[in-house]
Amino acid sequence: MTDTKPLLLLDVDGPLNPFGAPPHRRPAGYQTHRMKPDNWIAQHDGLPEHRVKPLRVWLNPAHGPALMALPYELVWATTWEHDANDWIGWRIGLPREQDLPVIEFGDQWTVRPDGTYVKTWPVVAYAAGRPFAWVDDQISDVDRAYVDRHHPGPALLHWVDPRKGLTEDDFAVLADWAARISTHNTPGAHQ
């Protein structure tokens, strides 16, 4: 095995922003933010920016330090794309001076003809055989099967409940998986 850390591919909405929680019940530890990122404004068909209602986003400032403590290289795998560096990273406690790499997904936001989630193909292409863990609230068994067929290295596709966001249990799963692959780096270790 090389000294290269596995990738940790991060979705925003669901894992970091528990948007599925009841609107009147922000999860413990989260702060409310009102934002107008470029992608959000673009979704409002030419409406002037001052007329676009801000997006409510719940973020936990403890997540950044907890993510950085894991033995991974962090990468954004989110529809926020580059907006995640401008609007999300520093609010969860990631260093302002260091942008994370971004997987770009393009303009197609539907399920692929084979039933995989729109992110799955680009995630596998980006990983290029490197071990990776991907946290998202849209992962399905179809995506796991695609990764099993097309990714030669270890991969953990970890579904996160969008009503709760990343929890201590999720962090424990990520830490355990990274520890296991560092000692047993075996192909086909997909979960």
CA distance 182 to 174: 12
Tokens describing residue 174: 């990520």
Contact 164, 19 (CB under 8 A): no
Domains: count for the chain: 1
Least confident residue range of 2-11, 85-94, 133-142, 147-156: 2-11
Number of alpha helices (DSSP H) and beta strands (DSSP E) in the chain: 6, 6
Q: Is residue 53 part of a domain?
A: no
Three-state DSSP class for 109?
A: coil
Residue that wins the pLDDT comparison between 115 and 163: 163
Note the pLDDT of residue 184: 62
CA distance 122 to 15: 19
Q: 12 lies in which domain range? A: 7-21+60-184
Write the pLDDT tens digit of every residue in 167-189: 999 999 999 999 999 876 544 44
Q: Is residue 55 part of a domain?
A: no
Write the pLDDT tens digit of every residue in 46-61: 788 888 888 899 999 9
CA distance 39 to 55: 11
Note the pLDDT of residue 185: 54
Residue 12 pLDDT greater than 80, yes or no? yes
Label residue 13 by pLDDT band (50, 70, 90). Answer: very high
Note the pLDDT of residue 189: 46
Note the pLDDT of residue 1: 40
Note the pLDDT of residue 63: 98
Q: Is residue 148 part of a domain?
A: yes
Write the pLDDT tens digit of every residue in 63-114: 999 999 999 999 999 999 999 999 999 999 999 999 999 999 876 666 677 8
Strand residues in 13-112 grouped as ranges (E): 31-35, 55-59, 73-76
Q: Is residue 27 part of a domain?
A: no
Q: Is residue 154 part of a domain?
A: yes
Note the pLDDT of residue 186: 45
Write the pLDDT tens digit of every residue in 27-46: 999 999 999 888 787 777 87
Percent of the chain that is helix, strand, coil (3-state, to 5): 30, 15, 50
Three-state DSSP class for 147?
A: helix
Q: Is residue 171 part of a domain?
A: yes
Contact 125, 142 (CB under 8 A): no
Q: Is residue 163 part of a domain?
A: yes
Q: Is residue 167 part of a domain?
A: yes
